C-alpha cells in the first residue's frame, strides 16, 4: 500500500505543490515521453543521496539533469560543440540526452565524479509543466533516473512506478500520473564531449536522424562493448531485467511467455504477452509486457526481436541487456 500521495489531476496548484516539494528536497516521480523518472533537485546533495538509496543504485552512476528548455543549457554545460546545439534545437523537447562538459553547478554527486554532465529537455507536457514551475520557484534542474529499482525494468505506466517504489518512498514524496509513456524506451544518450558525437545508448532519436541533421558520422557504441572515452555505468552490463528469464528467438516451452510483432503467430502452449503492430508500438509495449511476465509468475519469456534501423535498434539493445546469461 503506497504511503506517498499519488496525484492524477493536474491543477495548477497540484503542480505548484509538486515543484515546491522538489525544492524542499523530496522525491517526485513524474512521467516523461520515454519512461517515468524519479525526480530530485539536482543541486541538493542530501536529497540526491536519498534518491540513490531509494533506487538502490551505486553512487558512481551519473544522473541526467532535466531542464525545461534549451535556454538553461549553459547553466549546466560548457564548451558546447556546434553539432550539439543543432541537435538540441532539432530534437528538444524530446527523447535525447546530451553528455557535455560540466559547469561548476554540476557537482560530483550528480555526475558520478565525471567531468561531464547528462542533460535532457523532455517533451511530456506534465514534465515540462513541472520543470517550468520548479524553475519559476528558483530551481535550476531536476535530476531524474528512471523510476525503477536499480537493474530492473524502467516503468512506463504509473502502476509500474507504484509497484517499483511504493515500498521505498517517504510519505512526503509524490508520484504524478501522466498515463502510459509514448516512446516506452529510455532516451538516446549522445556523448558530445569530442569532435564527433557518439551514441552511448540508442533510443527514439536514431543514428540516421542524427547523421542527416548534422552531416557528421555519429559513432554507435556496439552493445556490450566498452570503447567509449566517457564512463557510462549502467549502460553496458546486464540491465533492464525482469525476474523471468528472457531468451531471444528460441522456441517456447509450454507455459512460457511470448513477445513478438503481431504478424508472428503464438507458438502452441506459449502465453502471448504483447502483439505490437510495428516497431513504435513494440517499444511502447515492451517493458509492460516484461512486467506482465512477472505478474503472471512466468519462469521464461521468449522474445522475437524486431528488425530495422529505426527504434528496432534501441529495442534490440535493451533485449540483449536483459537476455538471460547462463
Ligand atoms: O529517458 C531517459 O533518459 C530517462 C527519463 C526519466 O528521462 N532517464 C534515464 O535515466 O534513463 P537513468 O539514470 O536510468 O539512465 C541514465 C544513464 C545512466 O546509465 C548513466 O550512466 C548515463 O545515463 N549517464 C548519465 N550521465 C552521464 C555522463 N555524464 N556520462 C556518461 N553517462 C551518463
Ligand atoms: Mg535507468
Amino acid 1: pLDDT: 42
- CA angle at 196 for the pair 209 and 98, rounded to the nearest 5°: 65
SS3 66: strand
The pLDDT of residue 227: 55
Task: Give the pLDDT score at 66.
Answer: 98
Q: What is the pLDDT of residue 237?
A: 54
The grid coordinates of residue 173 equal 514524496
The predicted pLDDT at position 234 comes to 57
Q: Cβ distance 279 to 308 under 8 Å?
A: yes
Q: Which atom of ligand 1 is nearest to the CA of 186?
A: 1
* CB 301 less than 6 A from any atom of ligand 1: no
Ligand 1 lined by 156 (C-beta under 6 Å): no
Q: How far is the CA of 148 from the centre of ligand 2 (A)?
A: 7
State residue 222's pLDDT score.
Answer: 57
Atom nearest to 114 CA in ligand 1: 29
| 235 Cβ inside 6 Å of ligand 1 | yes
Q: Is 118:189 a contact under the CB 8 Å cutoff? A: yes
The number of the ligand nearest the C-alpha atom of 37 reads 1
The per-residue pLDDT for 8 is 65
Which portions of the chain are predicted below pLDDT 70? Answer: 1-9, 221-239
Tens of pLDDT, residue by residue over 27-52, are: 999 999 999 999 999 999 999 999 99
pLDDT at res. 42? 98
Closest by Cα among 291, 283, 117 to 190: 117
Cell triple for 285: 509495449
Q: How far is the CA of 241 from the centre of ligand 2 (A)?
A: 11
pTM for the full predicted model: 0.95
**Ligand 1 within 6 A of CB of 18:** no
Report whether residue 117 contacts ligand 1, using a CB cutoff of 6 Å: yes
Whose CA is closest to 214, among 91, 312, 314?
91
Question: Ligand 1 center to residue 289 CA distance, Å?
Answer: 23
Is any atom of ligand 1 closer than 6 Å to the C-beta of 186? yes
Taking the centre of ligand 1 as the mean of its atom positions, its distance from the CA of residue 118, in whole angstroms, is 7
Dist. CA 60 → ligand 2 center (Å) = 14
Ligand 1 atom closest to residue 120's alpha carbon, by position in its atom list: 7
How many whole angstroms from 143 Cα to the centroid of ligand 1?
A: 10
Amino acid at each position: 500500500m503506497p504511503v506517498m500521495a499519488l496525484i492524477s489531476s493536474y491543477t495548477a496548484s497540484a503542480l505548484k505543490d509538486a515543484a515546491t516539494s522538489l525544492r524542499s528536497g523530496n522525491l517526485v516521480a513524474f512521467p516523461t515521453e520515454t519512461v517515468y523518472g524519479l525526480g530530485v533537485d539536482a543541486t541538493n546533495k542530501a536529497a540526491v543521496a536519498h534518491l540513490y538509496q531509494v533506487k538502490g543504485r551505486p553512487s558512481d552512476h551519473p544522473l541526467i539533469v532535466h531542464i525545461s528548455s534549451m535556454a538553461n543549457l549553459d547553466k549546466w554545460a560548457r564548451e558546447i560543440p556546434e553539432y550539439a546545439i543543432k541537435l538540441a534545437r532539432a530534437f528538444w523537447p524530446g527523447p535525447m540526452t546530451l553528455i557535455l562538459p560540466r559547469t561548476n553547478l554540476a557537482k560530483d554527486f550528480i555526475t558520478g565524479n565525471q567531468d561531464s554532465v547528462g542533460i535532457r529537455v523532455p517533451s511530456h507536457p506534465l514534465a515540462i509543466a513541472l520543470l517550468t514551475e520548479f524553475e519559476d520557484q528558483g530551481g535550476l534542474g531536476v535530476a531524474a533516473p528512471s523510476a525503477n529499482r536499480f537493474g530492473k525494468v524502467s516503468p512506463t505506466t504509473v502502476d509500474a512506478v507504484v509497484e517499483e517504489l511504493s515500498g521505498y518512498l517517504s510519505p512526503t514524496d509524490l508520484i504524478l500520473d501522466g498515463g502510459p509513456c509514448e516512446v516506452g524506451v529510455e532516451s538516446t544518450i549522445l556523448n558530445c564531449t569530442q569532435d564527433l558525437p557518439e551514441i552511448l545508448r540508442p533510443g527514439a532519436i536514431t543514428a540516421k536522424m542524427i547523421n542527416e541533421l548534422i552531416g557528421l558520422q555519429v559513432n554507435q557504441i556496439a552493445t556490450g562493448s566498452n570503447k567509449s572515452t566517457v564512463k557510462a555505468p549502467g549502460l553496458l552490463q546486464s540491465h533492464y531485467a525482469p525476474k523471468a528469464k528472457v531468451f531471444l528467438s528460441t522456441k517456447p516451452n509450454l507455459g512460457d511467455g511470448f513477445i513478438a510483432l503481431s504478424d508472428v503467430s503464438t507458438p502452441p502452449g506459449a502465453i502471448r504477452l504483447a502483439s505490437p503492430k510495428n516497431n513504435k508500438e513494440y517499444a511502447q509495449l515492451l517493458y509492460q509486457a516484461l512486467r506482465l511476465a512477472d505478474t503472471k509468475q512466468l519462469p521464461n519469456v521468449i522474445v522475437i526481436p524486431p528488425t530495422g534501423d529505426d527504434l528496432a535498434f534501441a529495442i534490440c539493445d535493451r533485449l540483449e541487456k536483459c537476455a538471460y546469461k547462463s
